Amino acid sequence: MKDRKFAVLLIGVLIVTLVVAGCGQQAVPTTSDQGAAPTTGAQPLTKVTLRLPWLITTQFAGEYVALEKGYFKDEGLDVEIQPGGPDVNSITMVASGTSTFGLHDMGSLILARSNDIDVVASAAFFQKHPGGLMALSDSGINTLQDIEGKSIGFQEGGPWMLSQAMLASNGVDLNSIKKVAVGFDLSPLFNHQVDLFTVYVTNEPLLAKAQGYDTNVFLPYDYGIETSSEVLFTTGDYLKQNPDKVCGMVRAIQKGWQYAVDNKDEAVSIILAAGGSDLNKEAEMGQLNAEIPLMMTPETEANGLGYMTKDRWQNAEDVLTKYGQLTNTVDVSNAFTTQCFGQ
């Protein structure tokens, strides 16, 4: 779950994007300029690309299941899924016209819009952002109030910003906390050099468990800091010109995630086939099981997987304004659309 470079990396790549844009705007991808692949019916498929924010894992089970099961084709789409990586930013790829669609988190998309990059979200498949704090179970840290006066190992990025907002909004004095910059190795936590660690609940708690450590995890979403990730987005121009294709992507990925939830073994097998030998079946199954609760909220039960609310977008902007690098006000009403729901 590597949107860790939530703010630091994004600011740099946004500058690059603006430079690229200034050198000549690329045409908005359409059926005609992306090419078409023949189908068995009369209508050709529209070729589009989907850029992931990270390498292939069950974080993207819904997308790969949709590809494998033909849900994209059912919507008239010939989709190429493009993995991301540590030096690849999906917002940059979409904004520059290299990719048609991308996945990222709410905060990063707000930062992009604050830099005049016209990206618009159409669905948020992880309703609950998975970034938070983790303590060892035997640490005695069982509530947020227990964190006051403790040390936190952190990396700059989404989990740290969200965790600060969680603590501050629940009455924990941030000035009482010792902040220790760390890498991604959990040894400082295991060796009691720090009391807590910024984590993704779909990753580090599973790694700790595999090494014999039980943990307590504090997810900001559960404490009032409601932001989302795995947000599907494209450019505003593409959305205006191709609303049917955007909604087709939403519907196909919804079906992919629902199938993955109902058929977890098969979904993991699809990811293992797509991701190669570096992936571990047990680890991917553990991650998928941890991801499923992140997708389900009362809003999704009422409106469908991926549904978004203005309140959640506003929450994300508030966190960025206070704890992140957002200096320009963003009208979050223009950052997303719910036009693909209720159809």
| pTM (global) more than 0.85 | yes
Task: Categorize the per-residue pLDDT at 86 as very low, low, confident or very high, splitting at 50, 70 and 90.
Answer: confident
Q: 177 with 300, same domain?
A: no
Q: Cα dist. 180→76, 141, 165, 207 in Å?
A: 50, 18, 17, 21
Q: Give dist(CA 68, CA 163) in Å, integer.
A: 37
Residue 105's pLDDT is 96
pLDDT at position 242 over 90: yes
Q: What is the pLDDT of residues 127-167, one digit of tens each?
A: 999 999 999 999 999 999 999 999 999 999 899 999 999 99
Q: 144 with 104, same domain?
A: no
CB 96 within 8 A of CB 21: yes
Strand partners, 180: 153
The residues near 247 (Cβ < 8 Å, ≥ 6 apart) are 122, 339, 340, 343
Examine residue 339 and state whether it is found in any structural domain, yes or no.
no
CB 311 within 8 A of CB 226: yes
Examine residue 267 and state whether it is found in any structural domain, yes or no.
yes
**Single residue among 159, 192, 223 that ends a domain in this structure:** 223
Examine residue 1 and state whether it is found in any structural domain, yes or no.
no
pLDDT at position 108 over 50: yes
CATH number at residue 216: 3.40.190.10
Q: Give dist(CA 120, CA 233) in Å, integer.
A: 5
Task: Categorize the per-residue pLDDT at 343 as very low, low, confident or very high, splitting at 50, 70 and 90.
Answer: low
- Parent domain of 299: 8-128+227-334
Examine residue 177 and state whether it is found in any structural domain, yes or no.
yes
The residues near 339 (Cβ < 8 Å, ≥ 6 apart) are 122, 243, 247
CB 58 within 8 A of CB 202: no
Average pLDDT over residues 319-337: 95
Task: Categorize the per-residue pLDDT at 9 as very low, low, confident or very high, splitting at 50, 70 and 90.
Answer: very low
Q: What is the pLDDT of residues 175-191, one digit of tens each?
A: 999 999 999 999 999 99
222 token code pair: 């559960």
How many structural domains compose the chain? Answer: 2
The residues near 294 (Cβ < 8 Å, ≥ 6 apart) are 126, 127, 128, 130, 201, 202
Sequence-ordered alpha helix ranges (H) in the chain: 8-22, 31-34, 61-69, 71-74, 90-95, 106-114, 158-169, 187-190, 204-210, 236-241, 243-262, 264-275, 281-295, 298-303, 310-323
